[in-house]
Structure formats: C-alpha cells, structure tokens
Amino acid sequence: MQKRRQDDGPSQQDAAELWQAYLDSIIVDARDGTVYAGPDAVALPLPPPCYVITAANPREGKLSDAENDRRNQTLEKVLQLRFESVVPVIGRSRSGHWQEVSFLVSTPDRTEILQLAERHHQRAVFELDADTKRVVAVDGTIQGTMDRTQ
C-alpha cells in the first residue's frame, strides 16, 4: 500500500466529508453576528456575487492563533487594495466547534478570488448570491451548492 503524502490531498471519502463540512458552514458578520449564509440569513451587504476567503489554517492545517492572525492581516491588506468593500466575517460550523476569521468581498471575477485563495494555500472559497451558497475549489470546480438560507 502506498502511503499518501499530505500534498496529495484527502482521500476520496475524506474529500466528500470535507466538502460537505464546508457546505454546511454558516457565515456571520464578525462585527455583529448578522447571518449571511445559514438559517435566518439576511440580504447580502454587498452586491452579489460575493466571496468568502480566508488565509487561516491552510488546507485544513491547524496553525496557531497568532500565525492565523498574521496571515489574515496580510490577506486583508491585499483585499482592501483590490476591492471597494471588505466585510470581516466568520465561517463556522453549525455546532460552533470550529470557526475561522474570513472576509466577504464582492466581485464578478471569480478567477481573481480563486487565485488569491490558492496563493494563500486555501482549498476553496464560498460564493454567495441572493439565493445560493456554493463551495468553489481553487481549480474552479463547484464542490457543493445549497440554498443560502439553510
């Protein structure tokens, strides 16, 4: 049996579970808890499509809070140079056991966001529109779709 390297990514079964965990995430405004994706979601604060991106915990690796903060500060500076508005958000599991500081931006250019995510060693981003939440892998593959208010 060949041992898998970390760069190979998760096994097929693990990948399916991973994508589902991403899809089940809730997106809330870091400032006041307003829900943008999940039960009781309100209208998006920016024109769709909107994207949620982070630089924390690259490819599910667990980094220290200090390292995640440093990585996200760098990403936030890049986003502020490229986009008119950057909304601090938190992506979290429904159970609340996991959460990650992220940023919501609005752009019609999915490619630009995916390139930024790849540069920051992320596996995917969230794409939100008026009705839908998608998990989009950095290669552009849509890994899951659901109603934004679920």
In a domain, 57, yes or no: yes
Distance from C-alpha of 149 to C-alpha of 36, rounded to nearest angstrom = 8
In a domain, 79, yes or no: yes
Question: Per mean pLDDT, which range of 10-14, 35-39, 96-100 is the poorest?
Answer: 10-14
For the beta carbon of residue 34, count every other beta carbon within 10 angstroms.
Answer: 16
In a domain, 20, yes or no: no
Nearest to 148 by CA among 137, 88, 134, 136: 134
Query: Is the Cβ–Cβ distance between 50 and 57 less than 8 Å?
Result: no
In a domain, 51, yes or no: yes
Indicate the pTM of the whole model: 0.88
In a domain, 107, yes or no: yes
100-132 pLDDT, tens digit per residue, is 999 999 999 999 999 999 999 999 999 999 999
In a domain, 6, yes or no: no
11 pLDDT tier (thresholds 50, 70, 90): low
Distance from C-alpha of 38 to C-alpha of 28, rounded to nearest angstrom = 8
Angle at 79 between CA 109 and CA 8, to 5 degrees: 70
The pLDDT, as a whole number, for residue 9 is: 55
The pLDDT, as a whole number, for residue 83 is: 96
63 pLDDT tier (thresholds 50, 70, 90): confident
The pLDDT, as a whole number, for residue 61 is: 75
- Domain of residue 67 covers 31-147
The pLDDT, as a whole number, for residue 98 is: 86
pLDDT greater than 70 at residue 3: no
In a domain, 12, yes or no: no
In a domain, 121, yes or no: yes
Distance from C-alpha of 63 to C-alpha of 5, rounded to nearest angstrom = 19
pLDDT greater than 80 at residue 141: yes
By DSSP bridging, strand 35-37 and strand 50-53 are: unpaired
Looking at the 3D structure of the chain, how many domains does it have? 1
Angle at 100 between CA 94 and CA 105, to 5 degrees: 100
- What's the whole-number mean pLDDT along residues 50-63? 89
